[in-house]
Structure 1
Amino acid sequence: MTEVTTVEVTVSIRLSAPSGQVVDTAAHLAETLREALDVPAAEVVVDLPLPRAELRILADSRRVLHRGRDVELTRLEFDLLHHLCTHPRQVHRRTALMNSVWGATSFVDTRTVDVHVRRIRRKLGEAASLITTVRGVGYRVDNPFAVSVEHDALAG
């Protein structure tokens, strides 16, 4: 007697369509695949696309894009923004940021962090509200969905 093993296969398809037609186009594609592969309807799942974050951090190439445009940051500004965005919803004390971003082991004025955050906010423009000030403590990124941190080494 032969034992039958069930294998699950997930196929991801990137589809471009006008925003008002995405759902209909995806549904049509799913129906076409369902018919071509003879797969029962209950087994085909179509996830709606997630909106792309307006602020993107391309970690490998050390670039920041806001609405597709480059945001010119210094090395420390990039490192600080990257650190805050990769650890969202956490309050980061100024002294801890000095240690983790600057690598400062001796006393350096923690107001240096404030100056860098102010510069980052100015350069981010409309996206400046991404970084929240926690009075007397430090900084936090409250909405991790407002920013996308990507590893772009393979993205030519």
Structure 2
Amino acid sequence: MTALPEVTGVDPTDVEVTVVIRVSATDTRVVAAAGRLAEALRSALDLPDADVVVDLPSARVEPTLRILVDSRRVLHRGVPVGLTRLEFDLLHHLCANPHRVHRRTALMASVWGTTSTVDTRTVDVHVRRIRHKLGEAASIITTVRGVGYRVDHAGDVVVERDAPIG
């Protein structure tokens, strides 16, 4: 490490110094080293009142639910959730189109591919099974009584293409 240049002839009361140290890792050893560096800078500049800020990276917030489209996987807080083909398709459709009400008949057409008049209670059964498998994340699917279903907590859900391999 190179030494800091000596500062002479400066009245410390006339100087306002702010030093920002950006840290890209949250490892406690790195953070501690950054703190020691901040104190060394304050001492080397002979400015005991200088502001030395250690800027830590913001914590990355993992979404409650991740839907990985290409591999057809659902992760709840990083843990895989086993869904059938239709359960995955239904959850994906709802989460890919949040904040709007999906009528049962429209869900039958888009997820099941059927346009005939069939018992739409099968949608209710699948939603119930999905909610059961999602556990605490079940509340992302809201029932709109007499109409259908809606995903309101879109911020808790990420629908993404899988990362390319290699």
TM norm structure 2: 0.65
Q: Is the 8 A contact 1:132 1:140 kept in 2?
A: yes
Any residues of structure 2 matched to 1:2-151 within 5 Å, and which? 15-17=24-26, 48=58, 51-151=61-161
Q: Given residue 118 of structure 1, which amino acid in structure 2 is its aligned partner?
A: R
The one of the two structures with greater contact order (alpha-carbon pairs below 8 A, sep at least 6) is 1
Shift in CA distance, 50/144, structure 1 to aligned 2, threshold 3 Å? farther
Q: Which stretches of structure 1, 4 residues or more, deviate above 4 A after TM superposition?
A: 46-50
Consecutive unaligned residues of structure 1, counting only runs of 5 or more, are: 1-14, 29-45
Instruction: For residue 17 of structure 1, report the CA deviation from its aligned partner.
Output: 2.1
TM norm structure 1: 0.69
Q: Given residue 132 of structure 1, which amino acid in structure 2 is its aligned partner?
A: T
Q: Distance in 2 between matches of 1:80 and 1:54?
A: 18
* Rg larger in structure: 2
SS in structure 1 of the partner of residue 99 of structure 2: coil
Q: Which of the pair is proportionally richer in strand?
A: 2
RMSD: 2.2
Shift in CA distance, 49/81, structure 1 to aligned 2, threshold 3 Å? same
Q: Distance in 2 between matches of 1:150 and 1:113?
A: 24
Q: Is the 8 A contact 2:26 2:57 kept in 1?
A: no
Consecutive unaligned residues of structure 2, counting only runs of 5 or more, are: 1-23, 35-55
Q: Is the 8 A contact 1:56 1:64 kept in 2?
A: yes
Shift in CA distance, 117/51, structure 1 to aligned 2, threshold 3 Å? same
Shift in CA distance, 93/60, structure 1 to aligned 2, threshold 3 Å? same
Q: Is the 8 A contact 2:62 2:77 kept in 1?
A: no
- Aligned-residue sequence identity (percent) comes to 68
Q: Distance in 2 between matches of 1:123 and 1:56?
A: 14
Correspondence for 2:11: none
